[in-house]
Amino acid sequence: MEKLKYRADIDGLRAVAVIGVLLFHAGLSFSGGFIGVDIFFVISGFLITSLILKAQSEDRFSMRVFLGRRIRRLMPAALLMTTVTLVTGYWLLIPGDYDKLAESAIAQMALVSNHYFANSMDYFAGPAELVPLLHTWSLAVEEQFYLVFPLILILCRNVSRKRLCIIICSLAAVSMAVNLWAVHTYPTEAFFILPTRAWEMLLGAIILFIPELKKTLRKTAEIGSLTAITAIVAFFFLYNQQMDFPGLAALWPCLATAALLYFNKNGNSRTSVSRFLSMPALTYMGKISYSLYLWHWPIIVYLRYTNHLELDLQTSLLGITLSLIAGIASYHLIENPFRLRRLLPSQKRLVLASTSFSLMIMGTGAGISENDGLPKRWNSQITELLATAEAPIHYIKDSIWDPEYDRLPPIGISQPIADRPKILVWGDSHSLVVAELCHELAKRHQLTGFVAARGGTVPMFRSYRVFDRENTMIWNNGVMNFIQRHDITHVIMAARWSDNIEGNATGLRKYLITDDNTNEYGPHASRQVFKTNIHQTLEQLGDWGIKVWIMEQVPLQHHDPIYESVISIQREEAIPRGVSLEEHTNRQQSVRAILRNIDLPNVTVFDPAPAFFTADGHARYMENNTLYYVDDNHLSKSGAKLFLKPHLEKIFESIQP
């Protein structure tokens, strides 16, 4: 299959995209640098469609040859990067993180890493900036597109050019519609999966069906190109992670990219922007952009990992330097030799070698994952410490219909005793350790109860996060019905309250709650929603004669205490201090103002936080080789026993029949 006519400006545009991504990930300005991935998507759609249509017009397109070229172009460098990342992780990553790395490596080899991350970015997954193969999601999206889109073009090979354009435009419109719907309903999935991203690559394909500008319209091309490149640079600075993305926000940088490709499509009429993008320094950066993209993220993650999870200026600059070195080496020593058939010129041998290497990585990843991230890599003190990081996740439920169908996990004694109180522990993932302790206490006091725990779901009716409205409403309404049906007499609530009215600690607004009566969206509106609906929920429970205890939030730590503790022990350093009392108090100020002003006879609010803080005003998260947290905000069983059990014992003593 012959090559397309080379366009240096496209390599220059690739350089712009990868520079945006690199600076964004290194934390050096470019708050919207993540749109570099969207630029890559549009370019890929344009080039791949150009290649296939040209081959079809000459009656020489072969799916086998096409996929073979993709394997030769993409696989060798990706296989090496994954191998080096896994080996490096053996020496650097704590077991939980190494386990996740192994799983993501398996997913990458299976070309489904985007689906893996869409399904695994949950409350116990850890921060995204510490996942070394997270960037492979975009490679998976492109690879899936390469598998599906050529088949569509093959099926449409006898269709007229006009009808083919209509088909591609229709597919792009459907993908965009799914994107606009999913970005509010399933935001994580919308970011990662092909159906919500395909329109970006299809937009690149659509350019080929638009008639070229006449040479007499050179001024139009100049103005259009200048406007497009200006818009892209502006988006690098104007966009940020708090936006709903991809959504409608992704359309504008994609249109700007498409405009650049279109206005410079006629090689005989190059614009000043095209000449700028064709500068040797930019075209070289564009040529190494794939290898640079492959290597930059694991390098930055590991530098962050070895620098107490922080990226200061010196570390960021080191990350960029190492990324450039790795990208250049990978391009010249791996990517180019394979692409030019200097290494493994036989396609059959290349496919066999790539498949074997992929299977070897998958097998290695499976072994690492099956052995929980190989904790025995560390000394006995660390191994014993890690064994204390237990969380009772078995109480979490997957189906939103479980409360309605009486499938909530029981606690306490197996058979209820007549006329004795019945308890319900209700909350988000923070209620899991509460439920475990309540199970022990209920057994001791010969009581029965249930657990209604759903991650990220505030325990009150009518309120929901925008992307989870239907599921939340079904769950919480089901819990209220369950309470009535089962004659619950006492409810204990626990949640990460502040996320729902302040936003996530990283500033993400998608965690804010709203309701059907609220049109505004923001922390102020969410506080009012919380104040109104928690009060109405508690009033309703009071009308049913139910006593309610509300547990305020445990201190949120700056970083993962497991990581901090393990690294400190490994380096023979003092264990870093936890979050300060002042910081915790400031973050809980709005929540406390609402909860502590609830004046209802059936409601008691208690705060476990004071016990966490020592005389120096900082929280404890590890003592006597025992971890009190399993991540930066969830308590371990040991932590719950130390900090929460005294409060819960008082509750159970007060509800004795």
Which amino acid is located at 478 in the chain? G
pLDDT at residue 208 greater than cutoff 90:
yes
pLDDT of residue 122: 52
Mean pLDDT value across residues 198-204: 98
**Per residue in 58-96, pLDDT tens?**
999 999 999 999 999 999 999 999 999 999 999 999 888
Q: What is the spatial distance between Cα 69 and Cα 53, in angstroms, rounded to a whole number?
A: 16
Peptide bond into 246 cis (omega under 30): yes
Average pLDDT score, the chain: 92
pLDDT of residue 124: 44
**Per residue in 595-604, pLDDT tens?**
999 999 999 9
**pLDDT tier at 269 (50, 70, 90 boundaries)?**
low
Residue 150 C-alpha from the chain's centroid: 29
pLDDT of residue 507: 52
pLDDT of residue 127: 65
Cα separation values, 211 from 50, 208, 221, 265, 306, Å: 14, 8, 13, 10, 53
**pLDDT tier at 502 (50, 70, 90 boundaries)?**
confident
Instruction: Catalogue the E-assigned strands of 93-179.
Output: none
Mean pLDDT value across residues 305-311: 85
pLDDT of residue 218: 85
Domain range list for the chain: 8-368, 393-555+581-610+637-654
Which is higher by pLDDT, 59 or 322? 322
Least confident of 61-70, 268-277, 432-441: 268-277
Using a 10 angstrom Cβ sphere, with 0-12 exposed, 13-18 middle and 19 or more buried, the burial of residue 45 is buried
Cβ neighbours around 111 below 10 Å, total? 18
Mean pLDDT value across residues 354-382: 93
Q: What is the spatial distance between Cα 480 and Cα 184, in angstroms, rounded to a whole number?
A: 26
pLDDT at residue 50 greater than cutoff 60:
yes
Q: Is the pTM of this model over 0.85?
A: yes
pLDDT at residue 126 greater than cutoff 60:
no
In this structure, which topology does domain 393-555+581-610+637-654 adopt according to CATH? Rossmann fold (3.40.50)
pLDDT of residue 398: 74
- 610-630 in b/e form (b: 16+ CB < 10 A) is eebbeeeebbbbbeeebbbbb
pLDDT of residue 1: 45
**pLDDT tier at 272 (50, 70, 90 boundaries)?**
very high
Q: What is the spatial distance between Cα 274 and Cα 6, in angstroms, rounded to a whole number?
A: 13
**Per residue in 134-150, pLDDT tens?**
999 999 999 999 999 99
pLDDT of residue 605: 97
pLDDT of residue 4: 72
Least confident of 209-218, 322-331, 616-625: 209-218
Looking at the DSSP bridge assignments, the partners of residue 412 are 448
Mean pLDDT value across residues 308-326: 93
